[in-house]
Amino acid sequence: MIKSVQTINQWNEKYQGIREETELLAQAEAEKSLKQQELEQLENNEQIRIKAREKNYIKDGEKLYSIIDDPTFYKVVEEEKAEAYVPPKGFGEWIGLISN
C-alpha cells in the first residue's frame, strides 16, 4: 500500500510538471498569435492608408476624409488627418464675389 502511494505521488509530480509546461506553451502560443494578429492589423491599416492616398482620401479611425488637392483649402499633417486652416488674405472677398 505504501509503495503504491509513493508511486502515485511520483506520477502526480511528473504529470504536474508536464501540465505546467503545457500551460506555459499554450500561453506562449496564444501570445504569439495575438502579436501576429496585431502585426497583421498594422499591415492592413498601412495598406488602407496607401490605397486611400492613391484615391485621394485619408482614413482616420473609421472615417474617410476627402482631400482637396488645392492647399489653400486643406493641408495634410503628419498624423494623416485633413485639417482646415486659415485661407490666404483676400480669400473671403473672392468667395463673396462667387456667392453674389
Task: State whether 7 and 41 are in the same domain.
Answer: yes
Using a cut of 0.85, tell me whether the model's pTM lies above it: no
What single-letter amino acid sits at 64? L
Task: State whether 31 and 66 are in the same domain.
Answer: no
CA 51, CA 74: separation in Å to the nearest integer? 20
Task: State whether 75 and 97 are in the same domain.
Answer: yes
Residue 84 has what pLDDT? Answer: 46
CA 34, CA 62: separation in Å to the nearest integer? 22
Kindly report, residue by residue over 4-40, the tens digit of the pLDDT: 767 777 777 878 888 888 898 999 999 999 999 988 8
Task: State whether 11 and 48 are in the same domain.
Answer: yes
**Residues ≥6 apart with Cβ < 8 Å to 88:** 72
Task: State whether 2 and 45 are in the same domain.
Answer: yes
Least Cα distance to 80 among 52, 54, 60 occurs for: 60
Residues of the domain holding 82: 57-100
Residue 73 has what pLDDT? Answer: 41
| Average per-residue pLDDT for the chain | 68
